[in-house]
Amino acid sequence: MSSSASETQAASSSSSKPSVLIIGGLGFIGRYLTKHIHDNDLASEIKIVDKQLPQLAWLAPEFEAACSMDRFQQADMSREQTCEKIFTRPDGTTWDIVFNCGGDTRYSQQDEIYKQRSLKLSMVVGKEAAKRNVKCFVELSTGAIYKSDATPSKEAAKVKPWLKIATYKLQAENELQKIPGLNLVIVRMANVYGEYCSKVVGTMLCMARVYKHLDREMKWLWNPELKTNTVHVTDVARALWHVTHWYMNGKANWDEEAMGPTPCSTSWMRVIQGMMSKHMANIFNIKTGFHGTIVSQFAKLNLGSAVDEENDELLQPWGDLLNDYGITRPGPITPYLEGDTVKDKDFCLDGSRFKEVTGFEYKVPVVTEKVLRDIIDSYRRMNWWPAMEDTTLKPAKETEATV
């Protein structure tokens, strides 16, 4: 069954629609998931829980109805008593589907932060979901748990987390699979991007805007062939809903003996640095290129210093741009580089099993110049972006960024 067909079937009968709890529902992925379920009338009830308030979450107008206050509750789900209360609906029943989109998703944090805000959260909500016999519990993880390799990693590939956040995501995966009776699905994702995104792709766009302002060449570390997997947030939202429907309808095509007892899937689309560099050149009308081998090798040995130097060069001009354009609330976007995001590591995944087993189809299969322009336009709508006339007047090219 195709993903579109499963969505239609899931929405066919009001009485058969599941109730849904979304933990971290105001995060980047959580809000898109909530909107997808709301817009397509897929659930009998939606409850979103988050530690931050909607007024502080930089929600765009199109999310206001889905993430309305009547279905929102501010809470810290890593607290057992709080978790127990949230899992109990007013009529005494519990939720049919629970998505864990929560946790601290920032890069380069201290270990204790990931332990308390991510690992502990997963364990508390996973145990409660098992106790309540939730029909499907979806844990969002990351493909960075696999050993970095230019060859795409499949679900059974060797695990060797190369991001600190991935270390604790892997621990959460392992511990959740030990919980008796937990109806668990794990989705390991690539770098998620899309309109209003603030990480990785969003950072690149902000950096390019500064280089345009400075009239300087934007040079990248490493080499043009470095692979970084991406997946569009609207496809993530669709995939998360799709996998719950697949799971609760019998897990078609799942071979437990060969694939393991816990459905674990990877969402992906490959992109190489060289193509991203070309997109930035076209959008911003700047020269782009790559540092030579000597500079890249020096940066590898002194990555912290190289990142600090880059941030020193970009942050003040970014602030000047914001002031020049009267932007007082620039939202979550920034050219600030995190050391974890510029490592000489291929983030290369093979997500074919997810498509083959569940029948999911991507609607935004590649990173194109148009998609990146759409992201910039979303920043403009929120008044986060220092405008630049030639980025709107120059026609977009549809060059695909895949290998």
13 or 162, higher pLDDT: 162
Measured between alpha carbons, how far is 355 from 326 in angstroms, rounded to an integer?
A: 46
What percentage of the chain exceeds 90 in pLDDT? Answer: 56
Does residue 274 register a pLDDT over 80?
no
- In the predicted model, what is the mean pLDDT of residues 308-331? 93
33 or 227, higher pLDDT: 33
Weakest mean pLDDT among 85-99, 234-248, 261-275, 302-316: 261-275
Report pLDDT for 144. Answer: 83
- Helix residue spans in 92-132 (DSSP H): 111-114, 120-131
Residue 392's pLDDT band (boundaries 50, 70, 90)?
very low
pTM of the model: 0.89
**Residue 212 near residue 222, CB atoms below 8 Å:** no
- In the predicted model, what is the mean pLDDT of residues 209-218? 94
- Mean pLDDT score of the chain: 85
Rg of the chain over Cα atoms, rounded to whole angstroms, equals: 21
Report pLDDT for 379. Answer: 97
276 or 384, higher pLDDT: 384
Report pLDDT for 258. Answer: 83
Q: Residue written as tokens 């899309």?
A: 194
Measured between alpha carbons, how far is 384 from 117 in angstroms, rounded to an integer?
A: 28
Residue 14's pLDDT band (boundaries 50, 70, 90)?
low
Weakest mean pLDDT among 24-38, 61-75, 108-122: 108-122
pLDDT digits (tens, 9 = 90+) for 342-361: 666 667 788 888 888 999 99
Q: Is the dihedral of CA 105, 110, 115, 121 positive or negative?
A: negative
- In the predicted model, what is the mean pLDDT of residues 53-64? 94
Measured between alpha carbons, how far is 203 from 209 in angstroms, rounded to an integer?
A: 10
Residue 272's pLDDT band (boundaries 50, 70, 90)?
low
